Each structure stands twice: as structure tokens, then as C-alpha cells.
Structure 1
Amino acid sequence: MKLFFKEINSPVGKLKLVATDEALVAILWEKEKLGRVRLDKMGISDKHPILLKTENQLKEYFTGKRKVFDLPLNPMGTSFQQMVWNELRQIPFGETRSYGELATKMGSPKASRAVGAANGKNPISIVVPCHRVIGKNGKLTGFAGGLRSKELLLDLEAKSMR
């Protein structure tokens, strides 16, 4: 599988968009933890249609003009991770859920730690909104892009809701 990437600037720092010919497979952070998302070698492409569409939709999101992403996605992970990431896509813009709430919704109320681990491996940050998952006490918890980025994304969505 051939991978292409494009780097863009955003309010949460530089992002690396990664796609195949068919779908977006990752959005990586500037200070990405080595090994969090495993990808093969990539070639740079400033003209790749999926990367350009992703860049455009992210710009719309960051300016409050987009609440739902319309992109072909192919995050690579285990079947459990896929289930968690599908559940993340169901969290409405501007809302949050706890790890426990997600686990319960998935039919495994005692699996909140496993849900948290899968959430942390989400390769398509922002578009698959792992930033909308918080601790059961309402506090912000770990986030691949850093807690400051998580706070910024949640604030952006809250302001867009008003």
C-alpha cells in the first residue's frame, strides 16, 4: 500500500496528513510519539486529492464552518480499536463522553481502560474526534496532541455551538 503525505499548519501546530489512493489513514501531530501510529514509508504529495480535501475540511473546521467531516477514512487497527474509533465518530460536535460511557455504549462497561488505550491509538486525530473523550470526573485526560491542543479543540467546538 503506497502512502502519501502533506504537512499543514493549523491552530494546534503542524499536522501531517497521510493517505492512500483511496482514503485518509492518519493525521499526525508535530510532536508525534514514536510508534503510536505505525505507517510504511511515505512520499510527499502536495497535489493528492484526498490530502487536499482533508486540508480544506480542516481549515473549515478550524474557522467554525465545518462540524462534520466528509472524507473517505481507513484507519488501521485491531477490530476492537476499529469499534472504538467508530464509536468516536458518533460523538456529536461540541459534546463530550467519558471513557466509561463509551465502554458502556459498546456493551463492555468494565472496558473503560481498553477504550482509553484504543482512543490513544486513534490515527486520524480531529476527524475521528478522540479529543471529545474526557475523564469521568469531567477533567481532560491524555491526548496525543497534548492537553493544550485538546482544550483548544473543545473550546473551538463550544464557541461554534453558540
Structure 2
Amino acid sequence: MKNPLRGCAVKQHTVIDSPYGALTLVAEDGVLCGLYMTDQRHRPPEESFGARDERPFAGAEEQLEAYFAGELKEFGLPLRLTGTPFQRTVWDQLRKIPYGETRTYGQLADALGNPAASRAVGLANGRNPIGIVVPCHRVIGASGGLTGYGGGLERKQRLLDFERGSALF
């Protein structure tokens, strides 16, 4: 749905509760294009989210509820990921990491055919606009330790623990 007055995409948002605090869902022309945590690094300004409207988010809310209940392992939502071609390639790789597993930045760089790109992979990972659904929390450092997460390392650890079955909500 285009705005006939401006000829640009119509954005809408809603805010839902989760075990990780409030999540802001953003849609562009009815397609999920953002999922942001409170105090998330690289979170766009609120005024860029469009009008508050729950209607475009029924499917996303349903799948997130099932995920948090431990009933959904893979999201099946239409997504609009806006970024550079490299970022979109990294985000596509993130969606291939199975539920409950992790990969290192180096492993993702190898999967992209560029073993020297682990730092660039990390930067792209940090700019992921649809957290949880595009599971950037499943990426860890080469030593196996947690490194950077836009939603904070505590949330990252909680998400990983949840997916591994060591924490239920």
C-alpha cells in the first residue's frame, strides 16, 4: 500500500510484550521490516516507525508467541530486509543457523566464501533490523564466548539459553 500523497511506502508499528521486554514491530506496506528491543543499539528513531496499528502484525505476533512458548523453531514470515547487498547476504546466512545452535563470525565468513570477512560479518550482524526472527543472537566469537549484541549481552545469553532448553519462560 503506497501513500498516494508521497508516493512512498506506508510504515506502521506496534509494541508487544515478550520475556525480553517490549518489542517494537515495524511493517512497511504490511511486511515486517523491523523488530527492535528497548535500548537496542542501532534502533531507528521512533518517528520513523509510522503510525501505531496492530493490524499488519497478527502473523508476527502469533509466531513470536509460539517461539517464546518453545513451540516454534523457525519463523515463516514474509520479511523486508533493507540493507546493503553484503548485509542482506549475511542476514540470509543468519536465517540458516538452526534453532539452538551457534556459529562464529568466522564460520559465517567462510560460508560466504570470504574467510577474511569475519569483522565485516560482525558489523553486518550488528545492523540486523529484524532481531530474533533473523537470529543474530546465534553468532558468537571465535573462542565460543559472547561478543556484541544490539539488545545487550544479557539478552543474548538468555536467548541462547532458552533455545538450548536451559531456560524456559
Q: Same fold (TM over 0.5)?
A: yes
Separation in 2, partners of 1:41, 1:53: 18
Identical amino acids, percent of aligned pairs: 49
Look up the match of 1:28.
Answer: 36
Tell me the secondary structure at the aligned position of residue 111 of structure 1: helix
Picking from 70, 73, 81, the partner of 1:67 is 73
Gaps of 5+ in 2: 1-8
Once the 2 structures are TM-superposed, how far is the Cα of residue 47 of structure 1 from its aligned partner? 2.1
Equivalent residue letter for 1:63: A
Equivalent residue letter for 1:112: S
Separation in 2, partners of 1:111, 1:126: 23
Look up the match of 1:159.
Answer: 165
Aligned pair count?
Answer: 157
Look up the match of 1:88.
Answer: 94
The runs of 4+ residues in structure 1 deviating greater than 4 Å are 35-39
Q: What are the equivalent positions in structure 2 for 1:12-161 lying under 5 Å apart?
A: 12-33=20-41, 35-37=42-44, 40-48=48-56, 51-159=57-165
Tell me the secondary structure at the aligned position of residue 148 of structure 2: coil
Alignment TM-score, normalising by the size of structure 2: 0.88
What do the CA deviations read for 1:12-50 (whole angstroms, capped 9, x no partner)?
A: 1110000122421000111123x45478351100222xx
Contact 2:12–2:51 under 8 Å retained in 1: yes
Tell me the secondary structure at the aligned position of residue 82 of structure 1: helix
Contact 1:37–1:123 under 8 Å retained in 2: no
Using CA pairs under 8 Å that are at least 6 residues apart, name the structure with larger relative contact order, 1 or 2.
Answer: 1
What do the CA deviations read for 1:104-156 (whole angstroms, capped 9, x no partner)?
A: 11001000000000000000000000000000100011101111111111111
Once the 2 structures are TM-superposed, how far is the Cα of residue 103 of structure 1 from its aligned partner? 0.2
Equivalent residue letter for 2:132: I
